[in-house]
C-alpha cells in the first residue's frame, strides 16, 4: 500500500492511475447508471489490481448531454450519482485503501443549464451576463465565423434575439469567455472547494481550450483539409490513428493560445497552497511535443496526457520514436512523462489492434511495454479485463457526437463493466436492472469474478504487472536506452529491466536475463505480438 502520508514523493511521477468512467463502473441503486456509492463499494477491486490512484470523470450536477462534461453546478453531485456526502465517503475510503483520487474539472465550457448561462439568455445583448460567454452578432444571418464544433456542425447556435453563442462542443456546452475576470475567479473557487474535500488532483478537460484568438477570426483551411478542429479529429470520435490529420500545419485560432498558461500558473499556486502532494494533469491535444511541454513547465501543471503512445501504429519504429520524442520533450521542462492506450473518447486498444485473439495479444504486449516506461500510466476501466469496443446498436447510442453527425461515436468504449454472473447486467448493479448501454451477451468469461479465478486471464496479467512494477517504478530511473534487436522489435533497457516487444510476425530470440513477466505464452523465444520484462 502506498504511504499517503509521505509528502515528499511527488507521487504522480510514477503512478498508475485508473480512469473510472462514473456512469459505467458500478451501480448501487439499480437505476442502471453507475454512481458514487457503487464505486466506493468496488474500490477493493482497484486496490487488488494495484493501482495508485483513480481519476473520476465528472459527477457534478449536469443534464448529462455529454455525460457530465456539461456541468450545471461545479460544486455539487448530480442526484444520478449520489450526494456530496457520497463523494466524501468515496474519497475517505479510497485514502484508507491507499488510493489517491483525481477529479475532473471542466473549465472550457459550462452546461447551458448552468445558472450563468440561464442568466445570459434572460439578459440583453451586451449585458454583463452575456459577457461570461462568447455571444456575438452576425450581419448576414450566418454564424459569426467558420468554426466547426468538435462534435460536428457549426460551433455557433443562434438565440431568439438573433445573437449567436460559441460552443466548440455540443450546443448544450457554451464556451466560457476566459477574458472575463468572473470566469477565472469562479474556477479558483471550484478548485479550492474540491481540494478542501480532500482530492489529490485534477484532470483538466480541454486544457488547451479556454482562450480563443480574441478576434474570433475565421480558421484558414488548407484546400484538402476538413473544416473543424483537430481536437475533434482525435478524441471525439473513434477514427483510427492513420486517419488523423497532420496537425503541425493547421491554423487553429480556437486552441492553444498563449494566454492559457497564465491560468495554469495561478492554478499551480492554488495546488501548492493546498499541500505539496496535489497535482493536475492536462488533457491538451496540442500539435507538437514542444507545445505539449509548455503546459508542464515547472510553474504550471504537473502532467499532460501523452496521446502519442495511443496514436502510434503497431510497429517497433513508431513506438521507439514516441518514446524518444516524449522523453526529450518532458526532460526539457523537468516534468514526468505519461502514457495511455485507452480512455472514454477512443476505440479500446484491443479493437484498435485488430480485435479478437491477436488484438488482445497486442493490447497486452503494448500495455506491458508501456508499464515499464518511466513516468505514469493511465489505464481505462475495463482494459484490465481485455474488453473490446462494443458495436452499440443505433437506438442505444447516446454520444452527442453521434446525435449531431450520425457517425458512430464513443458509446462502444463506455459499456458498463461486467463484475460477475453469467448474463447482463453481470452484477453491474443489483438485481436484473439493465444498464444504460446494453452489455453484450458473450461477456460471461470476461467478468472480474471469472477472470480473478483464472491465473492466465488478462486481469491476472495486469495484477502481476502492477505488482512487479512496484519493485522498480521508483528506483529504475528515468533513463531509457533503446536497443537494436532488429527492425520488428522494440527493445529498451531501463535500470535493471530489459523490455522486449515483438511487433513482427515471427518469434525472436530473447536477450539474456531472467524473465519476470511476459504478456502471453513464451517458449524460449518471444512469439509475435508478445512482450516480456527481463532482469539482466
Smallest gap from residue 438 Cβ to Mg ion (A): 16
The answer to the question of residue 252 lying near ligand NOJ (CB under 6 A) is no
**Is 312 within 8 Å of 241 (Cβ atoms)?**
yes
- Interface of this chain with ligand NOJ, residues 313 to 352, rule: CB under 6 A: 344-345
Beta strands 201-204 and 279-282: pairing type? parallel
C-alpha to C-alpha distance for 281 and 359, rounded to whole angstroms: 29
- Interface of this chain with ligand NOJ, residues 160 to 179, rule: CB under 6 A: 169
- Ramachandran quadrant class, 46 (left: phi over 0; alpha: psi -120 to 50; beta: rest): alpha
| Alpha helices (H) in 158-307, listed in sequence order | 182-196, 230-234, 260-274, 289-294
The answer to the question of residue 60 lying near ligand NOJ (CB under 6 A) is no
73 in catalytic set? no
**Three cell numbers written together for 522:** 513464451
- Interface of this chain with Mg ion, residues 299 to 358, rule: CB under 5 A: none
- Among the options 175, 205, 283, 411, which is catalytic? 205
* Residues whose CB falls within 8 Å of the CB of residue 445, separated by 6 or more in sequence, listed in order: 451
- Interface of this chain with ligand NOJ, residues 121 to 150, rule: CB under 6 A: none
**Binder of residue 169, out of Mg ion, ligand NOJ, none (CB less than 5 to 8 A by kind):** ligand NOJ
C-alpha to C-alpha distance for 220 and 147, rounded to whole angstroms: 10
- Closest CB to ligand NOJ among residues 11, 59: 59
List the one residue from 12, 21, 69, 319 that touches ligand NOJ (CB under 6 A). Answer: 69
Which string of DSSP letters, residue by residue, matches 242-262? GGPPP-TT---TTS--TTHHH
**Is 179 within 8 Å of 213 (Cβ atoms)?**
no
Binding residues for ligand NOJ, rule CB under 6 A, total 10
- For residue 22, give the nearest of 89, 88, 108, 90 by alpha carbon: 90
**Binder of residue 148, out of Mg ion, ligand NOJ, none (CB less than 5 to 8 A by kind):** none
Smallest gap from residue 200 Cβ to ligand NOJ (A): 20
The answer to the question of residue 206 lying near ligand NOJ (CB under 6 A) is yes
Give the N- to C-terminal CA distance of the chain in Å, as an integer.
Answer: 27
Smallest gap from residue 413 Cβ to ligand NOJ (A): 10
**Three cell numbers written together for 189:** 473557487
- Closest CB to Mg ion among residues 29, 73: 29
- Interface of this chain with Mg ion, residues 3 to 62, rule: CB under 5 A: 27, 29, 31, 33, 35
- Among the options 161, 240, 272, 273, which is catalytic? 273
70 in catalytic set? no
- For residue 376, give the nearest of 315, 313, 309 by alpha carbon: 309
List the one residue from 52, 66, 175, 427 that touches ligand NOJ (CB under 6 A). Answer: 66
| Binding region for ligand NOJ (CB under 6 A) | 66, 69, 106, 169, 205-206, 235, 283, 344-345
Q: Which residues are catalytic?
A: 205, 273
| Binding region for Mg ion (CB under 5 A) | 27, 29, 31, 33, 35
Amino acid at each position: 500500500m502506498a504511504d499517503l502520508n509521505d509528502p515528499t514523493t511527488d507521487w504522480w511521477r510514477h503512478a498508475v492511475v485508473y480512469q473510472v468512467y462514473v456512469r459505467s463502473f458500478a451501480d448501487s441503486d439499480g437505476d442502471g447508471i453507475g454512481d458514487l456509492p457503487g464505486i466506493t463499494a468496488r474500490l477493493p477491486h482497484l486496490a487488488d489490481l494495484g493501482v495508485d490512484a483513480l481519476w473520476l470523470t465528472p459527477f457534478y450536477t449536469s443534464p448529462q448531454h455529454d455525460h457530465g462534461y456539461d456541468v450545471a453546478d461545479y460544486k455539487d453531485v448530480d442526484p444520478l450519482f449520489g450526494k456530496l456526502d457520497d463523494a466524501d465517503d468515496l474519497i475517505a475510503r479510497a485514502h484508507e485503501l491507499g488510493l489517491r483520487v483525481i477529479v475532473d474539472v471542466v473549465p472550457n465550457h459550462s452546461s447551458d443549464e448552468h445558472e450563468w448561462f440561464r442568466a445570459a439568455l434572460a439578459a440583453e445583448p451586451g449585458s454583463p451576463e452575456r459577457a461570461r460567454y462568447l455571444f456575438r452578432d452576425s450581419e448576414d444571418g450566418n454564424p459569426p465565423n467558420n468554426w466547426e464544433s468538435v462534435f460536428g456542425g457549426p460551433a455557433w447556435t443562434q438565440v431568439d434575439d438573433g445573437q449567436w453563442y460559441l460552443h466548440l462542443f455540443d450546443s448544450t456546452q457554451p464556451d466560457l469567455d476566459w477574458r472575463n475576470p468572473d470566469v477565472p475567479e469562479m474556477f479558483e473557487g471550484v478548485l479550492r472547494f474540491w481540494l478542501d474535500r480532500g482530492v489529490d488532483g485534477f484532470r483538466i478537460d480541454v486544457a488547451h481550450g479556454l482562450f480563443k484568438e480574441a478576434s474570433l477570426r475565421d480558421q484558414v483551411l488548407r484546400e484538402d483539409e476538413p473544416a473543424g478542429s483537430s481536437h475533434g479529429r482525435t478524441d471525439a470520435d473513434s477514427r483510427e490513428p492513420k486517419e488523423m490529420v497532420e496537425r503541425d500545419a493547421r491554423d487553429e485560432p480556437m486552441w492553444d493560445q498563449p494566454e492559457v498558461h497564465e491560468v495554469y500558473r495561478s492554478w499551480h499556486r492554488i495546488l501548492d497552497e493546498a499541500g505539496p502532494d496535489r497535482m493536475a494533469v492536462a488533457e491538451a491535444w496540442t500539435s507538437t511535443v514542444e507545445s505539449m511541454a509548455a503546459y508542464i513547465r515547472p510553474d504550471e501543471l504537473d502532467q499532460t496526457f501523452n496521446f502519442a503512445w495511443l496514436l502510434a501504429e503497431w510497429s517497433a519504429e513508431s513506438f521507439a520514436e514516441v518514446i524518444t520524442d516524449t522523453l526529450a520533450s518532458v526532460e526539457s521542462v523537468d516534468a514526468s512523462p505519461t502514457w495511455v492506450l485507452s480512455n472514454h473518447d477512443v476505440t479500446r486498444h484491443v479493437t484498435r489492434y485488430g480485435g479478437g485473439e491477436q488484438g488482445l495479444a497486442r493490447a497486452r504486449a503494448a500495455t506491458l511495454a508501456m508499464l515499464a516506461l518511466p513516468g505514469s500510466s493511465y489505464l481505462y476501466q475495463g482494459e484490465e479485463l481485455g474488453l473490446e469496443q462494443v458495436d452499440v446498436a443505433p437506438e442505444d447510442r447516446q454520444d452527442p457526437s453521434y446525435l449531431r453527425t450520425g457517425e458512430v461515436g464513443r458509446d462502444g468504449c463506455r459499456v458498463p463493466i461486467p463484475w460477475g454472473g453469467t448474463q447482463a447486467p453481470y452484477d453491474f448493479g443489483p438485481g436484473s436492472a439493465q444498464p444504460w448501454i446494453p452489455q453484450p451477451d458473450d461477456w460471461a468469461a470476461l467478468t472480474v469474478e471469472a477472470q480473478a479465478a483464472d491465473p492466465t486471464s488478462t486481469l491476472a496479467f495486469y495484477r502481476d504487472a502492477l505488482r512487479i512494477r512496484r519493485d522498480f517504478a521508483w528506483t529504475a530511473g528515468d533513463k531509457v536506452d533503446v536497443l537494436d534487436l532488429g527492425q520488428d522489435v522494440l527493445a529498451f533497457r531501463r535500470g535493471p529491466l530489459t523490455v522486449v516487444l515483438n511487433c513482427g510476425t515471427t518469434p525472436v530470440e530473447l536477450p539474456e536475463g531472467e524473465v519476470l513477466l511476459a504478456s502471453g505464452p513464451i517458449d524460449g523465444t518471444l512469439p509475435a505480438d508478445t512482450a516480456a520484462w527481463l532482469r539482466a
